[in-house]
Amino acid sequence: MRSTQYLLIVVFAFLLLVSYDQVNQSQLENSPEDSNPPNFVIIFTDDLGYADINLFNVADLQTPNLDIMASEGAMFTDFYVAQPVCSASRAALMTGSYSNRVGVQGAFFPDTGLGLALSEITMAEMLKTQGYTTGHFGKWHLGDAPQFMPTNQGFDAFFGIPYSNDMWPGHPLQERFNFSALKLYENETAIEELDDQSDLTQLLTVRSVEFIKENKANPFFLYLAHPQPHTPLFASEAFRGITGKGLFADVIAELDWSVGEILNTLKEEGLDDNTLVIFTSDNGPWLSFGNHAGSAEPFREGKNTTFEGGVREPFIIRWPGEIPAGYVSDTPLMSIDLFPTLARLAGADLPVQKIDGLDVWSILNGQSQNNPHEAYFFYFADNELQGVRYQQWKLVYPHSYQGVNPQTAGQDGVMGTYQPLVLENIALYNLESDPGETTNVSADHPDVIATIELLAEEMRADLGDSLRGMEGPGRRPIGVVGQD
């Protein structure tokens, strides 16, 4: 009897050990192995088209540092931003929410007194709860009034411009807008009027490298938001003419150099294995500028539209030992998911108020291809729900948009003319076989449309849809000077 009891105890203990080992192995596979909080670097360009870097392009633009970054990390071919325009896209990145939920639509103009509400929790504020030092270098564009500037939204340091680089006297439509001088800021103080932006990419890179070196002993978050390749285009003297393919290609070459400087610094400072680096952009190319704009090929349209060319962006992520090298995924993701994913990796709590992003770490590290979202929703204009991405499908609702006719696109920094267009009927596209959204297959898949419509109605009940005259209770007010 005793021997039988002893055998049962041994078997039970063995099963417990096996169970513990399986649980522990699962945790190792789905969590960072390093117990130290990881550093985070987000490199966010402006108006970069899907085809504007070598790994995604058809225009023979060489980006060797981004090639290396992808070979040492992963690239995601179906990565989306929440809206195809500056402020709205950045609000979604910083808050993990659809930008209309946090009251941000379109692009903020200077001196309007509008900004991202201080009641919203930014990515920087979230990371500071875990002891991170936070720095933003580049374009902010979430409010230029002092209370909305980066140092009042969770960043310890800011060096850059408060809004788009074309919001200055050199704007093609200056007679209409009457912009004042574009100013370079150090924290909340304007230190210089930028009559020439040629050295700005270099300056932002140098300051970002200094930030890494100064904060290497503690966890840090670096948000490097380059104003380029948004027009007007500028490259430093070292890069002008370097490609022989025009100014746009020179600008891309300098941005790629900047990525290389960041990655090399991380290696030199011994931070490489504990730093997650992301490269992407805020929206697609501003096609009306012709040869001073990039390309979204093979996708339809570009910036200011919710077709793929406006909202799908190149996305590269690198973290040696955590992100599998050379991994390529077509699992859809969106910028709203970065906030909760970084929160999980930093051990931070999510905001009390509702956000829309979800933790996608298991997708980023190659452990899963199952997105926790049922769908992604594309709002634009005055809170119009214009499209829904569901599995391989994209449902697009009738709406008006500004198309670009290549024959009327501008040249050499001159803005071309838009072509007002209307999508008159609901359209369903199979993005696997038709990434250019050319063939409406709605008549062949009523079941898919019915499924997506149910999801869309749930979102409309939350955020509204001005295309249908609906307001949603889930939208929070925009920040206004004096309100917060």
pLDDT in tens, 296-329: 999 999 999 999 999 999 999 999 999 999 999 9
The pLDDT value recorded for residue 434 is 98
Say yes or no: 402 and 285 in one domain. Answer: no
Nearest of 325, 266, 264, 329 to residue 72 by alpha carbon: 325
Say yes or no: 91 and 229 in one domain. Answer: yes
208 CB-side CA count, 13 A: 30
Answer with the one of 324, 346, 374 that is the final residue of a domain.
374
Answer with the one of 374, 403, 418 that is the final residue of a domain.
374
The pLDDT value recorded for residue 36 is 87
Say yes or no: 331 and 395 in one domain. Answer: no
CATH number at residue 244: 3.40.720.10
The pLDDT value recorded for residue 57 is 73
Domain assignment present for residue 64? The answer is yes
Say yes or no: 444 and 474 in one domain. Answer: yes
pLDDT in tens, 323-382: 999 999 999 999 999 999 999 999 999 999 999 999 999 999 999 999 999 999 999 999
Stated pTM of the model = 0.93
Phi-psi region of 187 (alpha: psi -120 to 50; beta: other; left: phi over 0): left
Which portions of the chain are predicted below pLDDT 70? 1-35, 58-59, 484
Domain assignment present for residue 23? The answer is no
Contacts of 226 (CB under 8 A, 6+ apart): 43, 44, 45, 46, 138, 139, 201, 204, 255, 258
The pLDDT value recorded for residue 88 is 98
Say yes or no: 178 and 105 in one domain. Answer: yes
Say yes or no: 449 and 401 in one domain. Answer: yes
CA dihedral 463, 418, 85, 433 (to 10 degrees): 80
Hunting for tokens 């040492």 — which residue is that? 72
Say yes or no: 334 and 420 in one domain. Answer: no
Q: Is 28 exposed, middle or buried (0-12, 13-18, 19+ CB in 10 A)?
A: exposed
Say yes or no: 382 and 436 in one domain. Answer: yes
Hunting for tokens 């062949």 — which residue is that? 444
The domain containing residue 105 runs over which residues? 39-374
Answer with the one of 339, 374, 409 that is the final residue of a domain.
374
CATH number at residue 454: 3.30.1120
The pLDDT value recorded for residue 405 is 81
Say yes or no: 340 and 421 in one domain. Answer: no
> How many Å apart are CA 174 and CA 190, to the nearest integer?
22
Domains held by the chain: number: 2
Domain assignment present for residue 137? The answer is yes
Domain assignment present for residue 57? The answer is yes
The pLDDT value recorded for residue 58 is 60
* Dihedral of alpha carbons 65, 71, 72, 78, sign: positive
Q: Which residues are catalytic?
A: 86, 141
Say yes or no: 385 and 236 in one domain. Answer: no
